[in-house]
Amino acid sequence: MRPELGVCYYPEHWAEEIWAEDARRMAETGIKWVRIGEFAWSRLEAVEGVLTWEWLDRAVAILADAKLNIVMGTPSATPPKWVVDKYPDMLAVDIDGRPRQFGSRRHYCFSHLGYRREAARMAAAMAERYGRHSAVQAWQIDNEYGCHDTTLSYSEAARCGFRDWLAQKYQSPDALNRAWGNVFWSMEYANFNDIDLPNLTTTEANPSHWLDFRRFTSEQVVAFNRAQIEAMRPHTDAPFIHNYMGRVLDFDHFAVGADLEIASWDSYPLGALERTLREDDDDWKAHFARQGDPDFQAFHHDLYRAVGQGRWWVMEQQPGPVNWAPYNPIPLNGMVKLWTLEAIAHGAEVVSYFRWRQAPFAQEQMHAGLLRPDHENAQAQIEAREVADELAKLGALDHKDAEVAIVFDYESQWAWEIQPQGQGFDYFRLVFEQYRALRKLGLNIDFLPAQTDDFGKRKLILIPALMAWNDNLRKAIDRFDGTILAGPRTGSKTQNMQIPTPLGPHFAGAKVARVATLRPNMSIPLENGGAIINWHEELEGKDAVEKTAEGQTILMRDGKNFYHFYLGGWLDQSGYLRILTDLCAAQNIKTTNMPEGIRQRAVGNKTLLLNYNAFGVKINGQKLPPASAFWY
């Protein structure tokens, strides 16, 4: 597969006279794919049932003439006003019970069956019109599920749907009462119709109630997405894609991805650094303000490669300053190219820039594009052109499974959001910090869903904070003869989110007797270097490998299977680096200590070396300029 470039384009934002010129300049930039249509509902169906395709037909024809492939988006993220007027109760409701208003986007509730049908009808109409057009080579369903905190909705539609879902799952209120432990605080239900959503309770609602609501909600996203695909499939053979986001974890992406051919995500490295990472670390943010975190993009490239079962794109790549983070710096010259090459080294089939030209109007007028609002090329256009030239020389890349993989589980994210037990416990951050340590060791990393039943030929598997074991994963473990490092918190609950007895983790001969959460200014030093932060477990069992400076067991090994380890704490980076280096060495996995801000990714017999620093670095006698990437 030869990687290609794309761009997001909104013909409806521009005078028709400039479309052909735009298409010509796209082709000249080296772009092969153009995504259109995903917010165009009000121009396609201004009045219910009256469809105006002609302008889009002309836009499609112009792009096709320029030999550009089209990704057509279904417009369900932006239902126009008449749709909301038709279904006033389709609006999502926030946790405080307030309905979302019309006037931006993503105002719908996933559980509303009327809107779900309406969105599927519109998607089918588009597929009927363009599904066999030779230029329409892919579809994007909706846009960024969950963006603007819109996955969870506490609407009447959600309440009714949740009750039905619970009745299906438990069959009798008694079974539900037992599964949730509702004898506690007299919370028992006599009837499924008595059950409310878990918001607006006096103090916290039952964690089992919450977890089922999170599962139900995630399944609504799956069903919403599937309704469009089922309606469209008869009219097209082109692959279906959705554009996921960074660190949006409110629905199970593996479950949505199972219905799609290709996964994609929207990569905004500077916005992400400012808004979603290391919340309190100002020095870090200043150091990487114009480059982005050196691991955040790679993490999601690897995660979405797993979600897409190998096939994935970057659907939106940041091209310059964005408008939505607390601070919006200009990327260092070279970063747009670096981000693009990095995605390609992780296996992206297409990297598509958001957007072609900066819009001078509405919410995103301060958001850069490849072109400025005055039609001049912006810096990103120059870098995209450079990447296109480089890709032409690079040819096809040969991607193989990594030796190391991390099991990633959306349900565990929900479980620990529901019950963090200490403010510092965050599933994503824990996984990310383990991932970061592996990257600092120069490794390629894969992700696997918790439902996997086979680890393949990998040598080291990490299973951090998995809420509950499942049969598939147990099978994968039984079949595997490499090293497994589980913990902390792994296997600490049942599927109903209760504490199992005998106590967990049911792995590596360990038993977690008690847990403590630590304030940010507290840590527990380990005897051989590094420290425990955030989360500490008191372990019982015989086979200790590693202790704290005070002699408490922190890492255990299975007395029978020497390659199974359980780690009863969240470690700082130096702790992870030391332990992971040892585990890799034992499996003959070659590690390299990467200098600060330098990362690498091996592909076939090539390696891409990346300098995320704002200064040049000398490596193996070679000078790596700031914000640059090169193959060796």
Among 56, 263, 298, 322, binds ligand GAL (CB under 6 A): 322
Find the DSSP H helices in 181-325: 207-232, 253-257, 269-276, 282-287, 296-307
Q: Which residues contact 187 (CB under 8 A, 6 or more apart)?
A: 180, 206
Q: Which is nearer to ligand GAL, 271 or 568 (CB)?
A: 271
Residue choice 20, 27, 113, 147 for contact with ligand GAL (CB under 6 A): 147
When binding is defined by CB under 6 A, the residue of 251, 268, 353, 435 that contacts ligand GAL is 268
Min dist. Cβ of residue 276 to ligand GAL (A): 12
Q: Taking Cα atoms as reference points, which of 631, 573, 569, 582 lies closest to residue 603?
A: 631
Beta carbon nearer to ligand GAL, 110 or 154: 110
Residue type at position 52: T
Q: How far is CA 26 from each of CA 291, 317, 606, rounded to the nearest angstrom? A: 25, 15, 29
Q: How far apart are CA 174 and CA 189, in angstroms?
A: 8
Binding mask 211-250 for ligand GAL (x = CB under 6 A): ----------------------------------------
Q: Closer CB to ligand GAL, residue 61 or residue 147? A: 147
Nearer to ligand GAL, 73 or 173 (CB): 73
| Candidate list 316, 403, 411, 433, residue with the active-site label | 316
The active-site residue out of 45, 144, 403, 411 is 144
Instruction: Tell me which residue has its CB nearest to ligand GAL.
Output: 144
Toward ligand GAL, which CB reaches closer, 128 or 364?
364
Considering only 4, 45, 118, 266, the residue that binds ligand GAL (CB under 6 A) is 266
* Phi (first) and psi of residue 515, to 5 degrees: -130, 150
The alpha carbon dihedral of 112, 113, 115, 120 has a sign of: positive
Using CA atoms, how far apart are residues 34 and 111, in angstroms rounded to an integer? Answer: 31
316 interacts with ligand GAL by CB under 6 A: yes
CA atoms of 159 and 435, how far apart (whole Å): 38
Alpha helices in 92-206 (DSSP H): 113-130, 156-170, 173-180
- Nearer to ligand GAL (CB atom), residue 264 or residue 490: 264
Helix (H, G, I), strand (E, B) or coil at 371: strand
576/532 Cα distance (integer angstroms): 10
Sole window of 110-118, 141-149, 159-167, 553-561 interacting with ligand GAL (rule: CB under 6 A)? 141-149
CB 556 within 8 A of CB 565: yes
CB of 354 to ligand GAL, least distance (A): 5
Is 316 one of the catalytic residues? yes
Residue closer to ligand GAL by CB (options 70, 571) is 70
69, 143, 206, 228: residue in contact with ligand GAL (rule CB under 6 A): 143
- Choices 143-151, 172-180, 433-441, 505-513; region in contact with ligand GAL by CB under 6 A: 143-151
Q: How far is the CB of 266 from ligand GAL (least distance, A)?
A: 5
CA distances from 475 to 368, 451, 472 (A): 49, 10, 5
- Residue 144 in contact with ligand GAL, rule: CB under 6 A: yes
Count of CB atoms within 10 A of residue 255's CB? 19
- Return the residue matching tokens 């091209």: 319
Please choose, out of 94-102, 139-147, 273-281, 559-567, the segment that lies near ligand GAL by the rule CB under 6 A: 139-147
Q: Tell me if 265 contacts ligand GAL by CB under 6 A.
A: no
Number of residues that bind ligand GAL (CB under 6 A): 10
Q: How far is the CB of 227 from ligand GAL (least distance, A)?
A: 21
In degrees and rounded to multiples of 5, residue 389 shows phi and psi of -65, -40
Shortest CB 356 distance to ligand GAL, Å: 13
- List of long-range contacts for 374-380, beta carbons under 8 Å, 24+ apart: 375/18, 378/319, 378/320, 379/320, 379/333, 379/336, 380/319, 380/320, 380/336, 380/353
Least Cβ distance, residue 574 to ligand GAL (angstroms): 35
274 binding ligand GAL? (CB under 6 A): no
Q: Which residues, numbered 345-374, are part of the site for ligand GAL (CB under 6 A)?
A: 354, 364, 367
Binding flag, residue 293, ligand GAL (CB under 6 A): no
Q: Give the 3-state secondary structure of 444-477.
A: CEEEEECCCCCCCCCCEEEECCCCCCCHHHHHHH
Q: Cβ(625)–Cβ(320) under 8 Å?
A: no
**Residue 340 and residue 384 in contact, taking contact as beta carbons nearer than 8 Å:** yes
Stretch that binds ligand GAL, among 88-96, 140-148, 170-178, 227-235 (CB under 6 A): 140-148
97 CB neighbour count, 10 Å cutoff: 11
Which residues of the shown chain bind ligand GAL in the complex (CB under 6 A)? 143-144, 147, 266, 268, 316, 322, 354, 364, 367
The residues assigned a catalytic role are 144, 316
